[in-house]
Amino acid sequence: MKHFLTLYLVRKNIRRHLFRYLILAVSVAVVVGLQVSALLIDLASQQSLGLGLKRLGADLVAVPRGLSQELARAYLTGEAAVFYMDKSIQDRISRFDFVSQTSSQLFIKSLSNAGCCSLRNIYLIGFEPETDFIIKPWLKTGSFDQILGDEVLAGAALGLEPGNTLKFYGHSFHVAGVLSPTGMGLDRAVFIPLSSAYQMAEESGIKAEQTLQISPSQISAVLIKLKPENQGGLPASRAAFELEQKIPELSILQPGDLSNKFGQNLSMVLRDLSSASYAIWTATALLIALVFAMATNERKREIGILRSLGATRWFIFRMIIIEGILIGLSGSILGLIVSTGLILGFSSLISQSLAIPFFQPQASQLIPVFLIVLCLALLTGSVAALYPALRVSQLEPYQAIRSGE
């Protein structure tokens, strides 16, 4: 019975001062939202990078001198990096004893606001099906054996299915398969056989609104697979050094470079979010404590009457602490719902604007995050109400009634 009476009085008091408690709950929601955002971005990005690096497949990627960071950003975010070098570079790389296999890629960006491209500003990657060793393992639906002529593979984030028809630079393609999601920018790319990419460029002067200036002697990158060290191979860092020394017009990207660039971008984002959340968390705790101190001063007469009617010190203390817990609970639930919805709903925009990969976490991974933040929010509300609750619960009935007049 006492428990029901406590909850009844708490609910009645909150309804009487609804605006005050809404402000406190929203303050808690802002703190929780910032903290959840930081944790979700960290969790999703780390998972994406691990999966993406595993599926990258190549030990090294060779690009024109000074453009390795452009390639890293493209791989991470899907923002097209367009640059070219002579195809003879691939043959020169293949002659090194420590190189096991090479495959070239060609980077193209689809036109924006042009009727000759069915998807705008899409990363188009020309690849060699006969030498490819990284794309085939990603295939989720469709058949790699169908990649002939105008058959293409689509990234998981484009929402395409095998059999769909696409048009780029006026050239029609058919989707032969869809790749498994990686959470990286390559999920928003379309992979076109090199021969078809060169044909598309050749015909663009007639079929497209803008001519694609690419010749069959040009490529953008060379994916390199190294021999095992026990078979005459070199460590990736040593092989990269050798290639850059012997072919000075190249820059070599290692998978670790993606980790470094990702780490720099992510650390800045998390630092800003964490700093903001800690500052607001402290301010919110102080605000709750101040409001509860003011509220208990206003309610001294009410508390004194309750004490004179038989309410114990523990009853008064518990009533005020429950109010603090309810504020923390309602604010944390609001913050969890809003922040999770925004982060997951705008994951593609976050990935591109912050230059970090983003793979939406599963529900089983979100539950621990939610529980941690929820406990912290409840602790904030109860601790902030602790001192006012202790102070007012120690008052004698007569003293409380007189001081509340």
Residues 246, 290: one domain? no
Residues of the chain with pLDDT > 70, as a percent, come to 74
- Residue-averaged pLDDT of the chain: 78
Domain end: 253, 271, 299, which one? 253
> How confident is the model at residue 72, as a pLDDT?
72
pLDDT tens string 46-73:
666 555 555 666 788 898 998 877 777 7
Cβ count within 10 A of residue 382: 20
CB count within 10 Å of CB 131 equals 13
pLDDT for 342 beyond 90: no
Backbone angles phi, psi at 123, to 5 degrees: -80, 110
Instruction: Point out the domain boundary residue: 232, 253, 274.
Output: 253
Do residues 59 and 226 touch, judged by C-beta distance below 8 A?
yes
Q: Are residues 142 and 227 in the same domain?
A: yes
136 and 39 co-located in one domain: no
* List of residues 6+ apart from 305 with CB closer than 8 A: 397, 401
Q: Point out the least confidently predicted range of 105-109, 117-121, 125-129, 244-248.
A: 117-121
Q: Determine the structural domain holding residue 148 and report its residue range.
A: 60-253
The tokens of 299 are what?
């309610």
- Asked if the structure places residue 194 within a domain, the reply is yes
**Count of the separate structural domains present in the chain:** 2
In this prediction, residue 86 has a pLDDT band, given cuts at 50, 70 and 90, of very high
Given a contact cutoff of 8 angstroms between Cβ atoms, the answer to whether 222 and 104 are in contact is yes
CA distances from 341 to 44, 238, 303, 362 (A): 14, 45, 41, 14
112 and 208, same domain (yes or no): yes
Spatial neighbors of 178 by CB under 8 A, at least 6 apart, are 139, 140, 141, 142, 153, 154, 155, 156, 160, 161, 162
Structural contact between residues 33 and 332, judged by C-beta atoms closer than 8 angstroms: no
Sequence-separated (6 or more) residues with CB below 8 Å from residue 152:
166, 173, 174, 175, 176, 190, 191, 192, 193, 196
Same domain membership, residue 396 and residue 319: yes
List Cβ neighbours of 55 (8 Å cut-off, separation of 6 or more): 134, 137, 138, 180, 182
Q: What is the pLDDT of residues 113-132, one digit of tens each?
A: 766 677 777 889 999 888 88
In whole angstroms, what is the distance from residue 346 CA to residue 344 CA? 6
pLDDT, tens digit, for every residue of 27-53?
Answer: 788 877 877 777 777 776 666 655 555
Residue 272 lies in a domain: yes
Residues 180, 210 within the same domain: yes
Residues 288 and 232 in one domain: no
Q: Which of 1, 14, 2 minimizes the C-alpha distance to 320?
A: 14
Nearest Cα to 356, choosing from 33, 52, 7? Answer: 52
Put simply, whether the predicted model's pTM sits higher than 0.75 gets the answer no
Report how far residue 333's alpha carbon sits from residue 370's, in angstroms, rounded to the nearest whole number.
Answer: 9
- Domain-embedded: residue 55: no
